[in-house]
Amino acid sequence: MIFDNTILDAIARGGFLSVFALCWVILLVRIVGLRSFSKMTNFDFVMTVAMGSLLAGASQASEWTGLAQILAAMASLFAVQFVASILRQRSQMVANLLENTPVFLMRDGVILYDALRATRVSESDLIAKLRNANALDLSTVHAAILETTGDVSVLHGGKMDQIILKDVAAN
């Protein structure tokens, strides 16, 4: 206990542990690199969610052993993500195992309803993403792609290099 008053003790402990755990995460990000929270793959997204959960747990730790376990879990997740990113770069088989494939939801101004059904994206969700991207005329939309992270990219406008569509599944 830091204070005799349990309310003050809870506030001080929560504040100290939150700041300490946040500094630990910042240190880990500095060691592993900025890609840690990049959300480039579904694996990265899970890492980000898990880290948030662990950070919340650290701020509520009631014993030092619990805090140490949470800090070790954070370091372990960063290590696993680091190793997985290296393996993905070196092995196409590992990359295929860990990553989803981006999927066309729309191509050359045409909505691909089979792809919408297969990916469980509603037409209204797609249209909302088109509006968000200021796609005012469907005929100018080169592609709408459901990315590996779950985001929808809308490519519209003038000339587009085909390399932008590399590795996107036609579904």
Asked if the structure places residue 170 within a domain, the reply is no
Kindly write down the DSSP assignment for every residue of 99-118, as one continuous string: ----EEEEETTEE-HHHHHH
Judge whether residue 65 has pLDDT over 80: yes
Residues 68-84 pLDDT 10s? 999 999 999 999 988 88
Tokens standing for residue 110: 């045409």
In a domain, 139, yes or no: yes
Q: Which of 46, 78, 97 is the last residue of a domain?
A: 97
| Residue 121 belongs to domain with CATH number | 3.30.240.20
Residues in Cβ contact with 142 at an 8 Å cutoff, skipping those fewer than 6 apart? 107, 108, 155, 156, 157, 160
The answer to whether the CB of 88 falls within 8 A of the CB of 94 is yes
Choose one of 97, 130, 150: the last residue of a domain: 97
What is the token pair recorded at 9?
């003790």
Domain boundary (44, 71, 97) is at: 97
* Strand pairing category for 141-146 and 103-107: antiparallel
Mark whether 64 and 38 lie in a shared domain. Answer: yes
pLDDT of res. 116: 95
Q: Mapping DSSP to helix (H, G, I), strand (E, B) and coil, where does residue 165 land?
A: helix
Structural domain of residue 84, as residue ranges? 6-97
Task: Compute how many other C-beta atoms are within 10 angstroms of the C-beta atom of residue 147.
Answer: 17
Predicted TM-score of the model (pTM)? 0.68
Q: What is the number of structural domains in the chain?
A: 2
Identify the weakest region by mean pLDDT among 2-6, 38-42, 83-87, 107-111.
Answer: 2-6
Could you report the per-residue pLDDT of 111-135, keeping only the tens digit for each? 999 999 999 999 999 999 999 999 9
Q: Which DSSP helix (H) or strand (E) runs through 153?
A: strand 152-156
Q: Are residues 93 and 107 in the same domain?
A: no
pLDDT digits (tens, 9 = 90+) for 8-54: 878 888 889 999 999 999 999 999 887 777 777 777 788 888 999 99
Phi, psi for residue 101 in degrees, rounded to 5: -105, 135
In a domain, 153, yes or no: yes
